[in-house]
Amino acid sequence: MDNLLSDRRVLVVEDELMVLLTIEDMLADLGCTSILAAASVEHALKLVRHEDFDVALLDVNLNGTRSYPIADALAEHAVPFLFATGCPGPDTSNRYFDAPLLNKPFRSDALEELLTRMLAA
């Protein structure tokens, strides 16, 4: 079976540099060819407006600001996304309570499985 992650363009929204670097390494090892990163809602929204992505990974909490406006923009562009969080339990108060969720820290195989499932849908 072909690797569904090969040659994919991924948006990673993460405000912790070490976590971002780890995620970028994981994605590169999985075959993703273009990984663009943003650490703020504003920067991520600019990227969503001007770039094309196959999938996105959003940190729920960006320095105290929720990433839901980014999720809204991605949904408008029909880009599948998942949330990553270091906080226990999902925030069920938002409309994305059923979005795929990875709890940090996560392993590469968990990321691969979830992204593959999202892209195959």
Position 73 scores a pLDDT of 97
Position 29 scores a pLDDT of 94
Taking residues 104-121, what's their average pLDDT?
A: 93
Q: How many helices (H) and strands (E) does the chain have?
A: 4, 7
Taking residues 4-30, what's their average pLDDT?
A: 95
Contact 12, 40 (CB under 8 A): no
Does the reported pTM lie above 0.75?
yes
Position 87 scores a pLDDT of 76
Q: How far is Cα 11 from Cα 116, in angstroms, rounded to an integer? A: 15
Pick the CATH number of 9-120 from 3.40.50.2300, 1.10.10.10, 3.30.70.1900, 3.20.20.80: 3.40.50.2300
Position 1 scores a pLDDT of 36
Does 47 score more than 50 pLDDT?
Answer: yes
Position 91 scores a pLDDT of 60
Contact 70, 102 (CB under 8 A): no
Q: How far is Cα 116 from Cα 113, in angstroms, rounded to an integer? A: 5
Q: How far is Cα 94 from Cα 111, in angstroms, rounded to an integer? A: 23
Does 90 score more than 70 pLDDT?
Answer: no
